[in-house]
Every structure is written in C-alpha cells, then in structure tokens.
Structure 1
C-alpha cells in the first residue's frame, strides 16, 4: 500500500495520475495547505521541505519519497512501467521530466502567483512569467510535432508531469493558440481514464474531512507509528 499525502495542485496530480496509471493500491491523505498542515512536525518527518506531494511505501519498509519528480521515477522503477527500458528512451524520459521540474512548473507557478494572487499587480513581472511559460509550451509543441509523446511513441511519466501543468495554462493566463501539436497531446492525455481519475484526487469531500481535528490527530498518530517501525 502506498500512502499518498497530497492536495489538488498540478504537482499533487502528478503523483495521483501516476498511481492510477500504474494501478497501484494507495490511500489518500489530503493535506490542508491553507491551514499549513504541510509545515507540521509530523509531515516534515516525511518531507523536510514541507511540500506536497509525498508518499510512504509501506511495502518497502515504510520508505518515504518526496519531490514530485522523484516520486514519479520511484513508482515507475518500482513497477517497470511508464519508463522505457532502453538507455536512450530512459534518458529522453528523464530529460523531459527535468524540463518540467526545472522549467514548466516553476515558471507557470510564478505566473500563477503574480497573475492571480499577488496583492499588487506588476505588469512587467506578470508578462515575464507568462511569456516564459508560453515559450516553454512552444518547446513542448515543437517536440510533439516530432513524436506522439514527449519521449517518443510511448506514454511515460514525462507526459504525466508536463501535462499536469500544461493543462492549467488558462489559470496562468497563457494562451496555447497556434500550438496545434500541444493541443492534440493535451486532448490525447486527457482522454485516458486513469488520468481522469487521477485529477479528481483528492475528492472534495476527502479534503473537507481533513479539517476534522479528531481525524487529523488520528492520522498523525498513524504516521508517527509506521515511521518508527
């Protein structure tokens, strides 16, 4: 059983979509980001950086994994799926995964902050992050003009990672007009049943349940228990 600590964000969905694609049994523990639950001592024992998602693999001596990209690699290698076995295919998958981790996620995340949440609207800053996000989506479009998926003809964790962010382009205020190959890929991935299930994790009712103090305290005791085993 995989214990998944997550919230309804692109990075959180990367983990839940991957778990759904792989068909691994997992339990969802929604983290209330607004309440700062990810900064509590019990969670920092799983992820010292205080960010979601994180997993604990109970079937592997309660091994904890944090950082969304590392989680995807761990799960792919654990199952031998969503990661090519050949050297070049694996490298291409890792390259495009790192492209998302170092580029698409951070740039779109900053676009979200300044476009949606920052108290003062600073047009040059907003334009800087939106323009860079658009440029990165154009890079994806160029790659997808050459192959069906990012690492080649096979669907991999690189597609999951990039798709979970690229699908949110409207929220970042970034247009995908004219990026026909990207739009084709966005639709192809969105049609996958496992993806449709994964982006609904955690369910709204699950997230609301975490605000119940008794349930939260029970979860904390449980986590402490299996981390000490």
Structure 2
C-alpha cells in the first residue's frame, strides 16, 4: 500500500518513472538494503538528483517539494502548509499501521485472535471518524484548504476493501455511518491519476505474485 501511495503521487504529477521488481525474499538482502536499510518497499532512486530515499512519507514529501512546482497537490503558505503535514503524519502513524495490522490479524495470522481483530477494527472506525469530523467541521471537500492535496491522496490505498474484517466496515458500515468521508474517498478514487496508479500497482503485483 505504501508503494501505491508513491505511485499515486507520481501519476498525479505526471512524473516519469520505472518500476524495478524486487522479490519479497530479496528485500532484506543486497543490493536492495543499500537503497532501504529497513528492507521494505518502497524505495526510489531519482536520476535527476542522484537522491535515494525510502519510507513512503519521506518519498512523497520529496516528490512534492521537488516536482510539484505549480503546487497542484500542495500548499506552501501558512497555515495550510503545516496542516497538510499534520494529516500526512496522522496517515502514517494511524491509518497505515492500524489498517495493516487489521489485515494481518484478520487474514494472514495463523492463530485467530479476536481481541487483536477487535482492537484494529475499532481503530479503523476511529480514524475514519476523525476524517469525518474534519470534513463536517470545515464544510470543505478536502482535508486541507479548498483543493485535493497529497495529504488526501495518502489515505487512498489503505481504504480499499480487503477480504476479511476490514471488508465489512469498508463496504457496509462506512457508506452508512460516515457519509462525508465516504464521498471524499469516492471522489479521490475517481481521479485519473489515482485510477492509473491503482491499475499499475494491481497489474504489477499480479505479474510478480508467482
């Protein structure tokens, strides 16, 4: 999902890119750990600047500051500049880890742990309620200001319906309980850059799953 976050920003900004496949059993080995010491996806090499980066939040921040010269997906003036940073960190510290843990315990973990699943189901609801509150409070269509920013787009990949406990919330509960945030997510997913990135990511995963 973190890789898809980066893909979305690349597609939204029209930045040319090349995907270099790395098998899951190779990410903890050289040469990949020279790019990402943490041994996880994603990592980027920018041939224009010779910069190597890892961690999706850092990569997105770099791409926006370097290539979003028209500020299509960002604000550079206060207070919006700092507000978009708050939502970026909320996504990275809240949505990503908690949604990921729900997927792990609900789908992949060998032992079913109802208490763990319940905890992360509650966090999925809570995090969505925070977004709903922001949209309700401001009366805006996006988290910051009057336009879609990278902060909005960072939430998109994790809000796709995974088989398992998350699916019940995302498919049934969310559209009825949190109307504004559901509409916000639908609008984001309708963007051409997002659709392109999601397809590229899905096709790449499918072609490298064997």
The alignment status of 1:53 with 2:42, answered yes or no, reads yes
Q: Is the 8 A contact 2:103 2:162 kept in 1?
A: no
Contact 1:137–1:166 (CA<8 Å) still a contact in 2?
Answer: no
For each residue in 1:128-185, what CA deviation from the matched residue of structure 2 results, as whole angstroms up to 9, or x when unmatched?
1111111101111111222211112111110111122123466534331311011111
Indicate if the aligned counterparts of 1:28 and 1:202 stay in contact, CA closer than 8 A.
no
Match of 2:11 among 20, 24, 30: 20
Cα 1:205–1:195 change in 2 (3 A) is: closer
Query: What is the match of residue 148 of structure 1?
Result: 141
SS of equivalent to 2:23: coil
Distance 1:206 1:98, change over 3 A: closer
The 4+ residue runs of structure 1 with deviation greater than 6 A are none
Please, which of 100, 118, 122 is the counterpart of residue 109 of structure 2? 118
Structure 1 or 2: larger strand share? 1
Q: Is 1:167 matched with 2:155?
A: no
User: Where do 5+ consecutive residues of structure 2 fail to align?
Assistant: none
In structure 2, the CA distance between the partners of 1:178 and 1:206, relative to structure 1 (3 Å rule), is: closer
TM-score, normalised to structure 2, is 0.88
Q: Which residue in the other structure is 1:199 paired with?
A: 198
SS of structure 2 residue aligned to 1:17: helix
Q: Measure the CA separation in 1 of the matches of 2:34 and 2:63.
A: 20
